[in-house]
Amino acid sequence: MQLAIGSSSQALGTDGHRLGAMQRLETPMRRYSEDEVVDFLVVGIGSAGGVLIQRLARAGFQVVGLEAGPFWDTERDWVSDEADSHKLYWEDLRITGGDDPITLGANNSGKGVGGGSVHWAGFAPRFHPSDFRVYSEDGVGADWPITYQDLKPYYELLELEMPVSGPVWFPWGDPHGYPFGPHPMGGVGNALIRGCTKLGIGVSAGGPVAILAGSRGDRPHCIYRGFCLQGCKVGAKASTLITHVPDAIRNGAEIRDRSMAGRIRLGKNGRVDGVSYYDAEGREHLQRAKAIIVAGYAIETPRLLLNSACAGHENGLANSSDTVGRYLMVQAGNVVLGRFEELVRMYKAPPAHAMTEEFYETDRRRDFARGFAIQTVSPLPIAFAKHMMAAKGVWGWGMRRVLMDYNHWAALGLLGEILPWPDNRVTLAAERDHFGLPVAKVIFSLHENDKKLIEFGKNKVIEVMQAAGAQEVVQDSRYAHLVGGARMGRDARTSVVDGFGRSHDIPNLFVCDGSILPTQGSANPGLTIQALAARTADYLISQADDIFTSGRRDLTRPPVRRHLSPPGTHGVGIPRIRSG
């Protein structure tokens, strides 16, 4: 009997493991025994972990991934139903606090193979060159230890691998075009274009978004039903579950789902040698490895490092700088809703399909540093009801009337850069989860620059909505996109990892996810997180011998290994621009 992917007890069905309407995973997964010392152990198979494990497997390494959530079979597990999609999120206990606490739960991070890329909207803009040198340019935040040019080849690779649909020319940051043609406009995109055009603001129509505008290989094109945040049962939206994980498994990677890492174990010579984790039944196991890469995202990565405190590392692993958990960031994500006389029908398009980055850069005429983007958001009815409850205070019959009017409303989102502050941080709470592990406590407060930016940005989005012709405009304040908490930097006294994600303290311990971002720009972070993962993979492949056996650190830039892309992602479909 073959074992089903993601389970040790179910037989593989005649259909194989289903990943989208047309994609089947037939290959049985390789299984390593626990006493085998594998080359790389990746904790968390989300946006970054999925790309990383795929490349390491394709390069021929023995690699195991531990994933706390399930290995989704999209036909069996998913429904196009807003109410039933919360299981895609990390909803375990977390404690929130600070002056401006982050609402934790359904709108933060994913749980399950694919992680946050399963429920993301798919907006995939690049960061701007200025994002990598915020301190040098604006005297705030931090500089990255790498430049835009270091990441550019990986942006180009990932834009083909996902792939990203968008305009032939995107004028902001480092101007470039997209490999797949743009999507047609939905009602909200039309409102954004109308409002921006009236105010003389440039706007990008139809992307950049990691959703197929035409079918490619075993993935169909978008059918414009708007369930992107519910996982996209169709398989048109990119998630590492369908873009990278299948290739990882075909190349010999093992992904152990429902496996919650609890502690990283310190072995001899100041090196880590394994991870203890809990299976679905709560049994504890230890997987040994020559090198460990943590890819659990902005809250769970610091939590795991802090929970792994041991003799000699009493404040947590990789934390001699006392930086683990600090500089946690979210982006300002205010949602502005406008009512139009004509029908808008928000749900009849992907939420992500038009944007402007006209206000992205620092403008010396404003009284704050950095900037923001404006994007389509298009909530489905339950999310819309929550926004309207907060924005208008409606409830009961009032809410019913508002919901009956849903098809006349459009929603635009602010995406504003909040700066990294040391007091915005993840620590361990006294409360424990059902494995007995201390849960994360997240403290978050806005600072003066953040508040000024949000006020200006929010008013600009309102202005655009009014210019588009909305009769009534309301807004709901919220945050989007966690990053930071294990930031990269050149200085071991002020950062956790170097520019390749290697911890300053422990030579065979790496971090590879959104937690390593020193600043966040006002672009959605997912593409950058995956591009960084591909770059870290190239480094691990180049330096594997040293990483496995010594403490030597060689920061030579690795070659860009284009041949490690998943097959069929280059030169097929309807690419507009080919990478070099």
Ligand X SMILES: Cc1cc2nc3c(=O)[nH]c(=O)nc-3n(C[C@H](O)[C@H](O)[C@H](O)COP(=O)(O)OP(=O)(O)OC[C@H]3O[C@@H](n4cnc5c(N)ncnc54)[C@H](O)[C@@H]3O)c2cc1C
| Contact residues: ligand SF4, CB under 6 A | 211, 222-228, 232, 234, 236-237, 350
Paired strand residues for 276:
263, 286
153 prior amide bond cis, ω within 30: no
Yes or no: say if 485 and 330 are a contact pair by the CB < 8 Å rule: no
Q: Could you say whether residue 380 binds ligand X (CB under 6 A)? A: no
Give the nearest distance from C-beta 432 to ligand SF4 in angstroms: 37
Q: Which does 443 bind (CB under 5 to 8 A by kind): ligand SF4, ligand X, none?
A: none
Q: Could you say whether residue 186 binds ligand X (CB under 6 A)? A: no
Pairing type for strands 38-43 and 284-294 reads: parallel
The count of other CB atoms within 10 Å of the CB of residue 381 is 14
106-111's contacts with Cβ under 8 Å and 24+ in sequence apart are 107/478, 107/480, 108/299, 108/482, 109/46, 109/297, 109/298, 109/299, 109/300, 109/482, 110/46, 110/69, 111/68, 111/69
CB of 368 or CB of 485, closer to ligand X: 485
Q: How many residues bind ligand X (CB under 6 A)?
A: 43
Q: Could you say whether residue 67 binds ligand X (CB under 6 A)? A: yes
Angle 191-195-199 (CA atoms, 0-180°, nearest 5)? 170
Q: Which stretch binds ligand X (CB under 6 A): 2-10, 326-334, 521-529, 553-561?
A: 521-529
Q: Which does 237 bind (CB under 5 to 8 A by kind): ligand X, ligand SF4, none?
A: ligand SF4
Greatest extent of the chain over all pairs of C-alpha atoms, in Å: 69
Give the nearest distance from C-beta 50 to ligand X in angstroms: 8
Give the nearest distance from C-beta 546 to ligand X in angstroms: 25
Place of tokens 């094109």: 221
Q: Which does 345 bind (CB under 5 to 8 A by kind): ligand X, ligand SF4, none?
A: none
Cα torsion for 189, 180, 17, 59, to the nearest 10°?
-130
Site for ligand X in 210-239 (CB under 6 A): 229
DSSP type of residue 176: B
Give 66: exposed, middle or buried? Use CB within 10 Å, 0-12, 13-18, 19+.
buried
Q: Which stretch binds ligand X (CB under 6 A): 65-73, 400-408, 438-446, 544-552?
A: 65-73
Q: Which does 223 bind (CB under 5 to 8 A by kind): ligand X, ligand SF4, none?
A: ligand SF4
Give the nearest distance from C-beta 171 to ligand SF4 in angstroms: 25
- CA–CA distance, 390 with 52 (Å, rounded to integer): 39
Give the nearest distance from C-beta 514 to ligand X in angstroms: 3
Q: Could you say whether residue 119 binds ligand X (CB under 6 A)? A: yes
Q: Could you say whether residue 306 binds ligand X (CB under 6 A)? A: no
Site for ligand X in 44-63 (CB under 6 A): 44-49
Please give the residue ranges that form the binding site for ligand X (CB under 6 A).
Answer: 43-49, 66-69, 90, 107-112, 115-117, 119-123, 229, 260-261, 295-297, 300, 304, 352, 481, 513-514, 524-527, 529
